[in-house]
Structure 1
Amino acid sequence: MTLKEAMSRRSTIDWDRVRTTSDEDMARQAREDGTEAPDDLGAAYPTPGTVRRQMGMTQASIATLIGVPVATWRNWEQGRVRLDPAVRTLLRVLWREPDAVRRAMEAA
């Protein structure tokens, strides 16, 4: 299928269902899918999306905070690329000490 053919197809997304999905529904679905980190801080590392939501930031703002392109953050959050050990460590620090990271990055 060409891009033109794909773009001409009718969307199969149920936008009414998307709009009526609550935050609680999304959290439950993430837990069921295994895409959400456990609530306890003893987890090996939280997911990028979990960290971002906990910090109340957009993808663009958290990418700016840590100094990576927003596309890189999106790739991490959407699971397109495997997280290397340094990224997993950064996520754990962001999860446990978000204010310390903010202070450190402001000083840079």
Structure 2
Amino acid sequence: MTDEQVLAAALADPDAQPLTPERMARMQRTPPVRVIRRALNLSQQEFAARYHIPIGTLRDWEQSRKDPDAAARAYLRAIAGDPDGVRKALRAGPR
């Protein structure tokens, strides 16, 4: 397929629309977990324990061996936005 045919096929599929610069600008990016952890001045062990993340998973994310899935990215955004609120919610437990 030519580039034009690929673009036409993508535009014809409503579930596979290419990202426009405008849509890219609106997308929320998750800060790298290392940046979040360091901003909170926590070691890997402290961050993992505080936010109930397996230490191996945290290390994999920080060393780019694995990327957080969508749920983990949402959780990391919540931690970045309100670290104390997330910590309090985890301490409160289920209702």
Unaligned runs of 5+ in 2: 1-26
Query: What is the match of residue 10 of structure 1?
Result: none
Could you tell me which of 75, 88, 95 is aligned with 1:103? Answer: 88
Relative to the length of structure 2, the TM-score reads: 0.64
Deviating beyond 4 angstroms after TM superposition, the runs of 4 or more aligned structure 1 residues are none
- Root-mean-square deviation (Å): 1.5
Relative to the length of structure 1, the TM-score reads: 0.57
What is the aligned-residue identity percentage?
Answer: 34
Partner SS, residue 57 of structure 1: coil
Per-residue CA distance 1:36-61 (angstroms, 9 max, x = gap):
xxxxxx85110000110111111011
Query: Larger radius of gyration, structure 1 or 2?
Result: 2
Query: What is the match of residue 76 of structure 1?
Result: 61
Could you tell me which of 51, 64, 73 is aligned with 1:66? Answer: 51
Larger mean CA deviation between 84-93 and 63-72 belongs to 63-72
CA distance in structure 1 between the aligned counterparts of 2:45 and 2:65, rounded to whole angstroms: 17
